[in-house]
Structure 1
Amino acid sequence: MIKRVIALLTDFGVEEHYNGVMKGVILKINRNALILDLVASAKSFSIIDAAFQLWASYKYFPYKTIFLVVVDPGVGTTRQPLVIKTKNYFFVGPDNGVLYPAAYEDGIESVVKITSEKVILKNRNGTFDGRDVFAPAAAYLSKGMPIEALGQYTEIKEKYVFPEPIINKYSIKATVLHVDKFGDVVLNLRKEHINDTSKKFIIKDKNVQIKATFAECVGLCMVFGSSGFYELVLNQGSASDLLKIKTGDEIEIEIV
């Protein structure tokens, strides 16, 4: 018997019924499905946040895991409902860029637009494709249905990529990719973007130094995080609140 993990990433939150209904649809099709919540409360409507969290997580899952992603502010429009088969995984969700960084990195092999009447629930109403389109597609994949049976081959239209920082001798313009529940701020800065970790920085009139761990931080500092990007952190506090910044913001970092 084929058993594949289905990992859900949505912005529905835990206080609503939406995630539960999607799981019910999956189990009605495949009672043996292994379903887990990767993220239930991604930032509402935020493609950049969901794309980052998916990209940061997918590679730690078993071979042929199905990632079911519903952060879909364009639901009901002409945006495509997709299944992407990569070298090691499947990604199911809207064609709005949210799937692309992870799928591209793993190596895209084929892409299908979900159109099969055997897959899409009857009486689809256009406001809850997580239930009516994406959940049944993931369920049938988990039973071993080939990707081509879900619809017709297509091309990805929205190929979102994480923005590159703008760096010169005196400053860095960075983008906030994610703010976690602790208020740690993930920036689009990789190790190669900061060659000298002894340098000091100023952000919104606040001095910042690079440290190896959270515990070493006194005040605001930067730490190279587990996702492979630098993070602004405040030891046992919220860097996001201190700096009044959120996901998607651009910030100026002065190099001292």
Structure 2
Amino acid sequence: MPIITLLTDFGYRDEYVGLMKGVILSINPTVTLVDITHAIDSQDILQAAYAIHSAYRYFPAGSVHLIVVDPGVGTGRSLLALEMKKQFFVAPDNGVLTLLFGEHDETRLVRLSNADYFWETVSRTFHGRDIIAPVGAHLSQGTDLYQLGDAISPAEAVRLKDIEPQRADTGEITGTIVSVDHFGNLISNIHHQMLTQIEQFTADNRVIIRIGSHVIPGICRTYADVPPNKALGLIGSRGYLEIAVNKGNAARRLNVGKGDTVQVKI
């Protein structure tokens, strides 16, 4: 049974998610629909890029991922369909696929143009319902990617700039908080592979984390490695460095949020 996932900034109050699902089921009523999240902050392309990059690998081959964080809807920006690692991604050409382009050399990418695979009418303000959803449904039925539009190379797609953390000659890593989860954990863009110089993630290792006006020693294994209400750093389930407060809310406690800088000194 084919799987289609949805990742949007629509929230849960309005009808937008439900209408996308209705269109999908009208074309392929056998599909399984999975909501990755609809709580991406409004128009936050960077947050969405990291979210889909972290999530897709947990789905089976043949899955179709629809990403709708689209502040440029109705403008001249195009829409893309990407095939990579036997999975499909349909999204605006606004940089939200940036991290996926570097995942694998063997990819197929098209710029959507074949209206035969769109909804009967296309709103200027809801391409998620009228283009992305029907295209995803057709992909789930086995439609070949190249029937959907003209092939392009990833180099021709829009990419987000300066989204990777930087390592100085001194070894210091400077990254950014890209997301704050429901618990107030501060999720950075510093992947654990950048910290491979550390032999063990223990509370007494030689790592110093600086965020805002706060200095946090070491990288822990679990939230409970420190006393309640104490800040810590650890590698979260996404594989990225997180700043948390045991049994507390790090964003509120440290007065830090999305876009703020985090530095790691080894």
TM-score, with length taken from structure 2: 0.87
Shift in Å, 1:112: 1.3
Q: Deviations over 1:12-69 (max 9, x none)?
A: 0111100000000001111111111011211111111111110111111000100011
Instruction: Specify whether residues 172 and 62 from structure 1 end up closer, same or farther in structure 2 by C-alpha distance, changes over 3 A only.
Output: closer
Shift in Å, 1:168: 5.6
Quick check: 1:185–1:231 contact (8 Å CA) kept in 2? yes
Q: Partners in 2 of 1:202 and 1:150 — Cα distance?
A: 47
Q: Name the counterpart of 2:131.
A: 133
Quick check: 1:173–1:250 contact (8 Å CA) kept in 2? no
Q: Tell whether 2:208 aligns with 1:200.
A: yes
Q: Please tell me the root mean square deviation across aligned C-alpha atoms, in Å.
A: 2.1
Q: Give 1:85-234 correspondences, 5 Å limit.
A: 85-155=83-153, 156-160=156-160, 162-167=163-168, 169=170, 172-194=173-195, 195-196=197-198, 197-209=205-217, 210-218=219-227, 219-234=230-245
Q: Name the counterpart of 2:263.
A: 253
- Code of the aligned partner of 1:206: H
Shift in Å, 1:170: 8.9
Instruction: Specify whether residues 171 and 127 from structure 1 end up closer, same or farther in structure 2 by C-alpha distance, changes over 3 A only.
Output: same
Shift in Å, 1:130: 0.2
- Code of the aligned partner of 2:183: F
Q: Deviations over 1:206-240 (max 9, x none)?
A: 33122111011231110011222111011111111
- Code of the aligned partner of 1:231: E
TM-score, with length taken from structure 1: 0.90
Q: Which runs of 5+ in 1 are unaligned?
A: none
| Corresponding residue pairs, total | 253
- Code of the aligned partner of 2:186: V
Q: Partners in 1 of 2:44 and 2:106 — Cα distance?
A: 23
Aligned with 1:240 (options 240, 244, 251)? 251
Shift in Å, 1:191: 3.5
Instruction: Specify whether residues 239 and 25 from structure 1 end up closer, same or farther in structure 2 by C-alpha distance, changes over 3 A only.
Output: same
- Code of the aligned partner of 1:157: A
- Code of the aligned partner of 2:207: K
- Stretch of structure 1 that moved more, 156-165 or 75-84: 156-165
- Stretch of structure 1 that moved more, 106-115 or 196-205: 196-205
Identity %: 32
Q: Partners in 2 of 1:200 and 1:212 — Cα distance?
A: 15
Q: Which runs of 5+ in 2 are unaligned?
A: 199-204
Instruction: Specify whether residues 147 and 169 from structure 1 end up closer, same or farther in structure 2 by C-alpha distance, changes over 3 A only.
Output: closer
Instruction: Specify whether residues 111 and 211 from structure 1 end up closer, same or farther in structure 2 by C-alpha distance, changes over 3 A only.
Output: same
Shift in Å, 1:201: 3.8
Quick check: 1:13–1:41 contact (8 Å CA) kept in 2? yes
Quick check: 1:213–1:223 contact (8 Å CA) kept in 2? yes
- Code of the aligned partner of 1:222: G
Shift in Å, 1:180: 1.0
Q: Partners in 2 of 1:106 and 1:67 — Cα distance?
A: 17
- Code of the aligned partner of 1:213: T
